[in-house]
Amino acid sequence: MGCSSSPPAACVAAAILLAASLLACHHGCAAAAAVPTLSTASRWVVDESGSRVKLACVNWPSHLEPMLAEGLGKRPVGAIAGDVAAMGFNCVRFTWPTFLVTNASYSGLTVAQSFLRLNLTESLAGIRVNNPGFVDLKLIDAFKAVVSSLGEHDVMVILDNHLSKPGWCCSNTDGNGFFGDALFDPDVWVDGLTKMATMFAGVPNVVGMSLRNELRGPRQNANDWYKYMQRGAEAVHAANPRVLVILSGLQFDNDLAFLNSRPVSLSFTGKVAFEVHWYSFSNTQEWSSGNANQACARITAGIARRAFYLLDRGWPVILSEFGVDNRGGNTNDNRYYGCAAAAAADLDLDWALWALQGSYYLREGVLGLDEVYGVLDWAWCKPRNDTALRRVQALQRPLRGPGLAEAAPYAVLFHPVSGMCVVVRRRSPTPTLAQPFELGLGPCSETGAWEYSAQQQRLGLRDTAALLCLRAEGAGRPATLGVTCGDAMARWSLVSDSKLHVAVNATSSSSAGVSDSDGNGLLCLDVGADGRSVVTNPCRCLSADNSCDPQSQWFKLVSSTRSVVTKQTMLAQLPLKLKSWKIRSF
């Protein structure tokens, strides 16, 4: 039964992998701390002191037919909660069905009764081994116990009302979609929200409540959204004024555009946020048949119009579901992820990844179904895909916001598909006067302070005696830092629709090794064959071509105000003669 019955060596290996994940987070992820009381300040979520708290969450379902947090037949609850924290997630979006607290035929069940009525005898046996104290608990008490275990690991919890009747979500015709549907009585829903808000009013790590997941279906309309969502928000706040109240939109939580002309009207302030979902399958045709750059530009602009515009209106917007098939073979997901990660980093979003679970007790009639979007593997023993986990961890660290003005704003050169950033290191083994540094991909917490002038087309390091500018040296050659910053090989533009290609026009340079037929004479930043070095190559996939993959050449200039962590200042590493040189702008 998962790790509990695995050979000791397998458990040790799993522990080592999770420890490695924790070490990977050591400098970049949000550190565990006492759980704060959250509120909002303009578009930011903040703590009691007014400092930014970035929600870097993972979804953990408890809304399916068994009505128990997934995975308790595989691992002890404390081990799973510890893994959540070790992987750098500071928050869980914990799902629940309304009927758990409003319908006696469900709310009166123990864990054992719930599993036996579904003939889930093998899963129940696993729970007896891994979590014996849960077997005879009422379902709601088991839910509380999971929240408590997360709290013991300083993990915040957002209670997400996922649907009414327990089961898999979602379809337009499942009866759970919108107010007035067969299984979605607004009065019962408000009663359920009130009961949950009251029940967890004294639980400090419950920091938010999401009112309803993915409103949808033929009945959905804006007028009823305002009528009932505002009523639900008021009910939650009255019962538990500590928590954030999180409102979802229409069309499977893809659309908050209606708020553009009519804001919400509530009796309280400083506790309201919105949420949106973004998956590749919302735009299957565009990702599968369109040019990746053009698709990314169109889709990102669309979600900005429908949801992210609220950030500029002073509202937090949480990307509360996003994710990919972690096996790595889904082309649409692979194209989508780099685009979504670039947007999430650029906006420094709060988010919740779908999902934690490696498998389900029962989903859509299938026992033990593998969740390929899961962070953990089927047995809940180890990360399903270490590379996928590391690139998500790059988004856990806040880049700016209240209380984070540690430096004047600068740019980070973020590489979305790897989750790494361009960093500058002293050239090894021996620096030269001409090239004392080398550029490569590394942890974003180790970035230098880049500065980009679109007018001058100059991209360089700010915190040096004189600005060292980024230079292209030719096709297939490493990008360098230099003091000659005015020629074509040091003039950088964002050249594709996605604005993720950072390029120079090399047609006038005889040494560039690129012709006008190669990427229109453009050289783009790229990742070398070793997966770490930063080189320039002819730009790929700028337009039209629907089959090529541009993502190794996707870099996003992201604004940060975090302190620049270096062992020595860049100036201290410069050779003495170079320190006295001036930038040459010709």
What is the per-residue pLDDT across 5-53, written as a single tens digit (0 to 9) for each? Answer: 443 344 434 443 444 443 344 334 443 457 899 999 999 999 999 999 9
What pLDDT does residue 510 have?
Answer: 53
Percent of the chain with pLDDT over 90: 82
On whether the CB atoms of residues 114 and 66 are closer than 8 A, the answer is yes
Q: Coil, strand, or helix at residue 531? A: coil
What pLDDT does residue 205 have?
Answer: 98
pTM to 2 decimal places:
0.91
pLDDT tens digits for range 199-247: 999 999 999 999 999 999 999 999 999 999 999 999 999 999 999 999 9
pLDDT bucket at 153, cuts 50 / 70 / 90: very high
What pLDDT does residue 89 have?
Answer: 98
On whether the CB atoms of residues 36 and 207 are closer than 8 A, the answer is yes
What pLDDT does residue 465 have?
Answer: 59
**Is the pLDDT assigned to residue 292 strictly greater than 70?**
yes
**Is the pLDDT assigned to residue 155 strictly greater than 90?**
yes
On whether the CB atoms of residues 102 and 188 are closer than 8 A, the answer is yes
How many CB atoms neighbour CB 203 within 10 A?
18
Listing DSSP states for 391-456 in one string gives: HHHTTSS--SSTT---SS-EEEEEETTTTEEEEEEE-SS---SS--EEEEEE-GGG---EEEETTT
Q: How far is CA 341 from CA 268, 279, 296, 319, 376, in A?
A: 33, 12, 11, 11, 20
pLDDT tens digits for range 82-92: 999 999 999 99
pLDDT bucket at 79, cuts 50 / 70 / 90: very high
pLDDT bucket at 425, cuts 50 / 70 / 90: confident
Q: Coil, strand, or helix at residue 299? A: helix
What pLDDT does residue 545 have?
Answer: 85
What pLDDT does residue 129 have?
Answer: 98
Those residues whose C-beta lies under 8 Å from the C-beta of residue 430, and which sit 6 or more positions away, are none
- For the segment 97-120, the average pLDDT, to the nearest whole number, is 97
What is the torsional sign of CA 255, 256, 257, 262?
Answer: positive
Q: Coil, strand, or helix at residue 194? A: helix
Give strand pairing partners of 484. Answer: 584
Q: How far is CA 343 from CA 79, 248, 333, 365, 395, in A?
A: 33, 20, 15, 36, 11
pLDDT higher at 144 or 514 = 144
Helix axes 77-86, 8-25, angle to 10 degrees: 30
pLDDT higher at 19 or 61 = 61
pLDDT bucket at 466, cuts 50 / 70 / 90: low
What pLDDT does residue 429 have?
Answer: 61
What pLDDT does residue 467 have?
Answer: 72
What is the torsional sign of CA 403, 405, 409, 412?
Answer: negative
How far apart are alpha carbons 151 and 206 in whole angstroms? 8
- Provide the 8-state DSSP code for 117: H
- For the segment 274-298, the average pLDDT, to the nearest whole number, is 96
Rg of the chain taking only CA atoms, in angstroms: 25
Buried b (16+ CB within 10 A) or exposed e, 373-391: bbbbbbbbbbbbbeebbbb
- For the segment 330-336, the average pLDDT, to the nearest whole number, is 95
What pLDDT does residue 309 have?
Answer: 98
- For the segment 278-287, the average pLDDT, to the nearest whole number, is 95
How far apart are alpha carbons 332 and 338 in whole angstroms? 11
pLDDT, mean over the chain: 90
**Is the pLDDT assigned to residue 539 strictly greater than 50?**
yes
**Is the pLDDT assigned to residue 149 strictly greater than 70?**
yes
Those residues whose C-beta lies under 8 Å from the C-beta of residue 563, and which sit 6 or more positions away, are 406, 407
- For the segment 503-527, the average pLDDT, to the nearest whole number, is 73
Q: How far is CA 232 from CA 177, 194, 197, 266, in A?
A: 16, 8, 11, 11
- Provide the 8-state DSSP code for 298: H
> Rounded to an integer, what is the distance from CA 560 to the centroid of its chain?
17
How far apart are alpha carbons 583 and 451 in whole angstroms? 15
What pLDDT does residue 384 have?
Answer: 97
